[in-house]
Structure formats: C-alpha cells, structure tokens
Copies of this chain bind each other. A is one copy, B any other.
Amino acid sequence: MPPTITAFESSPDRGKGHARDMRVRWAFEEVGQPYDVRLVSFAAMKQPAHRALHPFGQIPTYEDGDLTLFESGAIVLHIAEQHDGLLPKDANARARAIAWMFAALSTVEPPIVELTMAMLVERDRSWYAERLPSLQERVRIRLGELSRLGKADWLDGAFSAGDLMMVTVLRRLNTSGLLDEYPDIAAYVARGETRPAFRRAFDAQLAVFNAAARS
C-alpha cells in the first residue's frame, strides 16, 4: 500500500495549489512514487482523530505503515531520503539542499504568509494602508537577496527539495504583484511550475477542488 497523505476536502485557495499538500504531492511526483489522499473537512481537522496524526490540526499528514508524520517540510524531507530525485548524492550538496528547505520555510515563508494573510484579513482595518508597505518591504528584502544569487536555474546546482520548497513558498506571491518586480525570481518560480511533476501534482489537487465545487 502506498503512503496516505491528507488534504483539504475543499481548499480555501480554490485549487490554486497553495495548500501545503501541494508540496508533498509534488515531491511524490518528482520521485515517481504513488500515494493515496484522504480528504478532511475543516471540522474534522480539529477533532481528536485528526489531531492524533497532526497535533496542530492541519494538513498535510503522512501515514506509511506504523509511521505517521506531519509538517510538509518533514514529509518532503522523508520522501527525499527514501527515494532518489530530490537530494544530491554528494554529502555536502545534500546538506546544502536541506539548508534551502529550512531557508524557504523559516526565512522566506514567514514574511510572505504575513503579507498575504494581512491582504486577506486586515484589508478593512484602520491600519491596513499604513502597515501594508512595511509588510511588502520585508518580502522585498528577501526577494532582493534571492535575486542577488544570480542567474542559475536552481538554488544550488541541480533541482532539489530545496527548490521544491522555495518555489511553493514564492508562488504564494502570485497575486501580490511583488514577483513582477523581480523578473528573475518570477522566472525561477515559472521554471518550477513547468516541471512535469509539478503539473501532475497541481492537476491532482485542482481535481479535488473541482470535484468538491461540483458536488
């Protein structure tokens, strides 16, 4: 039996692939491994049965035999350690690819989530216009630093789990307009999005949303 992951029954991003199961689906597709998906509702995510898999009541989770994992970063790293295709063989290059995974999640994602969340939930607050520029500036600093890395296709040589995480983090900015200011980063994100494994993963999560929307 292939591993089972969980995903939103009806994703709040309406199938744009920003939910964190996308990262895990993409990883499975890159390494050519099958996986099963169990859909969970928002209500079910907060119930004890799901919290036994994920203490923070979120998706995705990963179940394979007697191993249960949560956190998309940990699940992608686990898949990358089990199968070829997402981490270099060279020990130093492998460690650097993992460093980029942490950089994506710990350094680049938080200001992007703060910005995109404020754009969703603070739009009508009195302080929105005053606070928005500082949120954008925090993201621009990170984009500028990434941009300075130069013109290589991927962060550290060959495509790795580090790129997979970074692309999924950066594409959250798709609707913010900020990527337009950094054409090289927009091109990097597009490079990730055109990988066949990305497309398969994207189509799979979109099919879930479309099926829920029709029902």
Residues of A within 8 A of B (CB): 51, 55-58, 66-75, 77-78, 91-92, 95-96, 98-99, 101-103, 105-107, 109-110, 113-114, 125-127, 130-131, 142, 145-146, 148-149
Contacts and interface: CB of A to CB of B under 8 A. Distances in A.
A117 to B, nearest CB: 10
Q: How many copies does the complex hold?
A: 2
Contacts of A103: 55-56, 70-71, 74
Contacts of A113: 110
Contacts of A99: 69-71, 74-75
Contacts of A148: 51, 55
A145 B95 contact: no
A56 B131 contact: no
A149 B67 contact: no
Contact of A125 (B69, B77, B101, B127): B127
Contacts of A66: 92
Given A71-B99, A110-B110, A56 B142 contact: yes
A149 B95 contact: no
A149 B48 CA distance: 11
